[in-house]
Chain A
Amino acid sequence: MSILTWTYIMVGITFSLYLSIAWIARVKTTSGFYVAGGGVSPLANGMATAADWMSAASFISMAGLISFMGYTGSIYLLGWTGGYVLLALLLAPYLRKFGKFTVPDFVGDRYYSDIARFVALICAIFVSFTYVAGQMRGVGIVFSRFLEVDVNTGVLIGMAIVFFYASLGGMKGITYTQVAQYLVLIVAYLVPAIAISLKITGTFLPQLGFGSTIAEGPNAGKYLLDVLNHLNADLGFAEYTKAFGQGSKSMLDVFCITMALMVGTAGLPHVIVRFYTVPSVRAARLSAGYALLFIAILYTTAPAIASFARYNMINSISGVEYSKAPTWFKNWEKTGLIAWSDKNQDGIIEYFPGDPFTGKPTFTGEKGSYGQELLSNSPTDNKNELFIDRDIMVLANPEIANLPPWVIALVAAGGLAAALSTASGLLLVISSSISHDLYYRLINRNASEKQRLMVGRIMIGLAVCVAGYFGIHPPGFVAQVVAFAFGLAASSFFPIIVLGIFFKRANREGAICGMIAGISFTCYYIVNIKFLGGTPWLLGISAEGIGTVGMLINFIVTLLVSFITAPPPADVQEMVENIRFPRGAGASIDH
Chain B
Amino acid sequence: MTATMTPAPPTTSQENHRVPWRHRQGAWWASPALLYVPALALMVPVFVIPTLVMLSLSFTSEPGGLHWYVQAFQSDLVRAVLIRSFAIAFTVTAISLLIGLPYAAIARRAPRPIANVLYGAIAASLFFSVIVRAYAWLSILGHGGPVQLALQWLGIDTDGLRLVNSPFGVVVGMVQYGVPFMVLAIADVMRRTDDNLERAAATLGSGPVHRWIHVKLPMLKPGIVAGVTIVFVTTLGYYIIPAILGSPREMMIGELIGSQVGTTLNWGYGSALASILLVLTGLALWLLNLLGRK
A and B: interacting chains: no
| B binding-site residues for A, Cβ under 8 Å | none
